[in-house]
Amino acid sequence: MKAFVSQGQITKVVFGSGTRSRLADEVDALGCRRALVLCAPGQVAQAAEVFDLLGTRAVAVFAEAAPHTPVEVSEKAVEYARSLRADCLIAVGGGSTIGLGKAIAARTGLPQLGLPTTYAGSEMTPILGETEGRGKTTRRLPEVLLKTVVYDVELTLTYPPAASGVSGLNAMAHAVEALYAQHQDPVAFLMAGESLDALAASLPVIAERPDDLPARAGALYGAWLAGSCLGMVGMALHHKVCHVLGGTFGLPHAETHAVVLPHAVGHNAPAAPEAMARITRALPGPDAATSLFEFAGRLGAPTSLRELGMPESGIEEAAELVVRDGYWNPRPVEKSAVRALLTTAWAGDRPVASPASESVAPSTSGATHV
Ligand code: NAD
């Protein structure tokens, strides 16, 4: 048995169908009385229902959460929270809304509760990504970790099937990179494998029957595990590539993860045989990269960066940015390999699965990508 360090989580999790009815008790348990409910403009109806469930414990709804957590929205929300003397935040939504709650928490110290409605997993991580102008920064701040997460499967029923598929693949990307993370945490490995099993079983059912409650429960369970892995261990090449593509070309978050994952796995395969074996246990096939590519196709997810709006001329710049900052990856990351990976992903071609027998040492650059 290898020695290890395991980073446990302190977030309380309540999981089930109809669990939003328990939210008021969870607010009481934190000793809070004046909750500010957060949501994106398209989710006002869900937030209003949560507001009503809270009775006198809720003071207002702030419905301006936006992708990539723009600093100006967060500062406006902070002022609003202060003017209302809010004593806690309740995020009803996906990663954008939970990100807004984290940004407010980072500036005010207010505790946050979350009711996730997508599979992005941000609710289980201490990671805060923010944008100012065209620049995006990402930090790990233990103080923004949510106090309580109430997973209510019913809140995900309205998430459209196409968006659910790519969001589920976004969750799978967290689990996949946890399997070969630098800090080999056996608990994270177990959770990541279980997450892949749950998502592999549930996402194709959701694509056919979006209102299938057991499948929705399976996907949310898998997303919880994947988000927990993202919070516990550092990510690698796949997340770095997606971060660069999102920040530089404004590509949509979950769709970018869906397209890039098989190609990043193809690159890392020779250096991570145990991870590859676990992926193919969840998704049987000739190799992990091909399995993931075909699975995304079954879900009807986009398969090329071209269809997401990335210009072909951007491949060189992206490859440069991906290798510019050092970060840990199980296999060395050379610019020519990244360029080749991006070219294949841009065109939507099948991933190139490197032979498992190739002997490789990890990249030694130190920091891991969040
Ligand atoms: P999102 O929160 O932007 O939601 C996408 C769209 O779907 C929005 O219009 C939203 O209103 C709508 N929507 C969400 N749930 C719905 C539902 N149940 N029914 C109907 N509509 C619904 O998307 P996301 O993919 O969840 O989050 C992406 C953002 O989260 C990115 O900015 C990403 O960087 C961030 N993120 C952060 C972390 C982290 O740990 N910090 C992890 C993952 C993602």
Please check whether residues 271 and 319 belong to one and the same domain.
Answer: yes
pLDDT of 365 strictly over 60: no
Q: How confident is the model at residue 259 (pLDDT cuts 50, 70, 90)?
A: very high
How many domains does the structure of the chain reveal? 2
Any atom of ligand 1 within 6 Å of the Cβ of 268: no
Q: Point out the ligand 1 atom lying closest to the alpha carbon of residue 68.
A: 32
Q: What is the pLDDT of residue 145?
A: 98
Mean pLDDT of all residues in the chain?
94
pLDDT of 58 strictly over 50: yes
Please check whether residues 175 and 222 belong to one and the same domain.
Answer: yes
More confident residue, 370 or 164: 164
Any atom of ligand 1 within 6 Å of the Cβ of 247: no
Please check whether residues 175 and 151 belong to one and the same domain.
Answer: no
Q: Point out the ligand 1 atom lying closest to the alpha carbon of residue 119.
A: 26
How far apart CA 129 and CA 325 sit, in angstroms, is 17
Q: Span 116-130, mean pLDDT? A: 97
Q: 10 Å Cβ neighbour count for 15? A: 14
Q: Which of 39, 43, 144 to mutate to test the pocket of ligand 1 (most atoms within 8 A of CB)?
A: 43
Q: What is the pLDDT of residue 132?
A: 87
Query: What CATH number corresponds to the domain at position 238?
Result: 1.20.1090.10
Last residue of some domain: 124, 156, 188?
156
Please check whether residues 201 and 311 belong to one and the same domain.
Answer: yes
pLDDT of 364 strictly over 70: no
> Which pTM was predicted?
0.95
Q: Point out the ligand 1 atom lying closest to the alpha carbon of residue 40.
A: 11
User: Checking DSSP bridges between strand 148-152 and strand 12-16, what pairing results, if any?
Assistant: parallel
Any atom of ligand 1 within 6 Å of the Cβ of 129: yes
On the CB side of 199, how many CA atoms lie within 13 Å of its CA?
A: 35
Q: What is the pLDDT of residue 333?
A: 94
How far apart CA 285 and CA 265 sit, in angstroms, is 14
Return the residue whose CA atom lies nearest to atom 9 of ligand 1: 42
Q: Span 92-119, mean pLDDT? A: 98
How far apart CA 276 and CA 63 sit, in angstroms, is 41
pLDDT of 370 strictly over 70: no
> Is residue 192 one of the residues assigned to a domain?
yes
Query: What CATH number corresponds to the domain at position 147?
Result: 3.40.50.1970
Q: Span 44-57, mean pLDDT? A: 98
Domain region containing 263: 161-347
CA of 95 to the centre of ligand 1 (A): 4
> Is residue 136 one of the residues assigned to a domain?
yes
